């Protein structure tokens, strides 16, 4: 009787198809966006997706997946964008956002904002100030860079897989 023992996997790495650089064409603002709102982007290099050579500047479309506008109590706005497809000739090529990039965008605190949190303000006054101070909205506009990954034919494989290390 032979027993095969597999080595323990200490960690996994996610390996994805080559990410394709892309930039936004439209402007999406957390103050005015809504779930399902379409937006356009373009790829910035020539790329091969599912054996199709797609030229640079090919336009793609995505949708706002989730949005939260800025609010009072110092609540910043957020955006979750979902990239879906590229249009090349009469073809529609399915894509996804690179899972190794972030999908959620929120405003970063400036150094002044970060230092303000360290100021010795009594709790009661601080609560009153933060209750009326409005957070910042997120705006993602033309030139904003990110990466997408082309989806292969589902019968042929997947765009990402895990490799044990």
Q: What is the distance between the alpha carbons of residues 41 and 59, in angstroms, rounded to a whole number? A: 6
Count CB-CB contacts under 10 A for residue 74: 15
Indicate whether 104 pLDDT > 80: no
Place of tokens 């230092």: 115
Computed on alpha carbons and rounded to an integer, the radius of gyration of the chain in Å comes to 22
Q: What is the distance between the alpha carbons of residues 31 and 46, in angstroms, rounded to a whole number? A: 34
Does the pTM exceed 0.95? no
pLDDT at 17: 66
What's the mean pLDDT in 1-25? 69
Rounded to the nearest integer, the mean pLDDT of the chain is 75
Q: Among positive and negative, which fits the CA dihedral 157, 158, 160, 165?
A: negative
CB 71 within 8 A of CB 101: no
CB 101 within 8 A of CB 14: no
CB 135 within 8 A of CB 75: yes
- Using the CB atoms, write b or e for 91-115: b if 16+ within 10 Å: eebbbbbbeeeebebbbeeeeeeee
Q: What is the distance between the alpha carbons of residues 118 and 76, in angstroms, rounded to a whole number? A: 19
What's the mean pLDDT in 152-163? 63
pLDDT at 150: 85
CATH numbers and ranges of domains, the chain: 20-108+134-151 (2.40.128.260)
Q: What is the distance between the alpha carbons of residues 59 and 25, in angstroms, rounded to a whole number? A: 8
């Amino acid at each position: 009787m032979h027993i095969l023992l597999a080595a323990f996997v200490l960690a996994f790495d996610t390996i994805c198809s080559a990410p394709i650089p892309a930039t936004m064409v439209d402007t999406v603002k957390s103050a005015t966006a809504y779930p399902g709102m379409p937006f356009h982007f373009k790829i910035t290099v020539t790329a091969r997706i599912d054996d199709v050579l797609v030229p640079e500047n090919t336009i793609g479309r995505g949708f706002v997946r989730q949005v939260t506008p800025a609010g009072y109590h110092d609540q910043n706005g957020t955006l979750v964008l979902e990239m879906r497809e590229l249009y090349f000739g009469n073809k529609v090529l399915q894509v996804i956002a690179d899972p190794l990039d972030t999908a959620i965008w929120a405003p970063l605190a400036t150094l002044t904002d970060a230092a303000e949190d360290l100021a010795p303000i009594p709790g009661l006054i601080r609560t009153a100030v933060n209750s009326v101070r409005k957070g910042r909205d997120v705006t993602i506009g033309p030139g904003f860079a990110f990466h997408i990954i082309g989806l292969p034919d589902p019968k042929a494989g997947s765009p990402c897989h895990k490799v044990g290390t």
